[in-house]
Structure 1
Amino acid sequence: MPLVLFYARHLDGQHAYIVHQDVAFKTILVNDGESYDSNTGRFTASVPGVYMFKLHYNHYTNIRANLEIVRDGRPLQSPGQYEGSYAVSVCMQAFAKVTIGDMVWMRSI
């Protein structure tokens, strides 16, 4: 069975997003199976199966950066909404049964 695994991240400072903006992580540390596209930020399944997707980010004061994990445009996992003058650290994961061609990505909410 082929190995499909990716690990991508931002290495540079703070990022602000508009509502429903796709998030593309430009620094790729691992991309076995070549399923993650750093230009679009989308993972496209090349092998059917159950996958785990994990997202960790820090939401800084006065920066719009609430993110969710989506599959083919529908949310798989979303955080609670945090408003206020403090920083928040968010970690979430989602499991999804996917078929070849299904796409999973992160977007702002």
Structure 2
Amino acid sequence: RAYAAFSVGRREGLHSADALQAVTFDTELVNLDGAFDLASGRFFCTAPGVYFVSLNVHTWNYKETYLHIMRNARAAAVLYAQPSERSVMQAQSLLLPLAAGDAVWVRMFQRDRDNAIFGESGDLYNTFSGHLVKPDAEL
């Protein structure tokens, strides 16, 4: 199989509840073969290869936004915004080599400050997406 893709969103805002919290999602836009689990917030790779992954979030006024894009139990990239009077849209993207069974997910990382992402039930501000760029068989 030479395809895989997911695109999910979160409409509700989220405040960190503990130091290492998985971000879950409530909106499925694309979920080929059901490889993304909304409840756990994880994409489980079944088609190994190189993936393009992107995370877009809306920050919350006066709150820190500190997230990691995770590959299994290791942080692959950071999305960060300092507390500010204004909320902003932040984005992070990267290419990741994934093996069958690898999980890609977003972790909210809490430090001393209140950590949050903004959301409203009527709009989709926060999205997490990925797709297979190059299957292992072609590497």
- TM-score in same-fold range (> 0.5): yes
Check the 8 A contact 1:59/1:66 in 2, yes or no. no
Unaligned ranges ≥5, structure 2: 110-139
Q: If each structure's helix is expressed as a fraction of its own residues, which one has the higher value?
A: 2
Partner of 1:42: 42
Partner of 1:5: 5
Q: Distance in 2 between matches of 1:43 and 1:15?
A: 20
Using structure 2 for the length normalisation, give the TM-score: 0.70
Match for 1:15: what amino acid?
L
Partner of 1:27: 27
Q: Distance in 1 between matches of 2:79 and 2:7?
A: 21
Q: Which has the larger radius of gyration?
A: 2
Check the 8 A contact 2:65/2:83 in 1, yes or no. no
1:1-109 correspondence to structure 2 within 5 Å: 1-12=1-12, 14-18=13-17, 19-109=19-109
The count of aligned residue pairs is 108
> Displacement, 1:21?
0.3
Runs of 4+ in structure 1 deviating by more than 6 angstroms, as ranges, are none
Check the 8 A contact 2:22/2:106 in 1, yes or no. yes
Match for 1:69: what amino acid?
I
Can you list the C-alpha shifts for 1:64-100, whole angstroms capped at 9, x where unaligned?
A: 5422201011111103451343323210012111110
Using structure 1 for the length normalisation, give the TM-score: 0.87
Q: Distance in 1 between matches of 2:108 and 2:55?
A: 12
Q: CA RMSD in A?
A: 1.7
Structure 1's 64 and 82: CA in aligned 2 closer, same or farther, altered over 3 A?
closer
User: What secondary structure, in the 3-state scheme, does the structure 2 residue paired with 1:21 have?
Assistant: strand
Q: Distance in 1 between matches of 2:37 and 2:23?
A: 11
Identity of aligned residues (%): 25
Q: Distance in 1 between matches of 2:85 and 2:28?
A: 32
Q: Distance in 2 between matches of 1:78 and 1:31?
A: 24
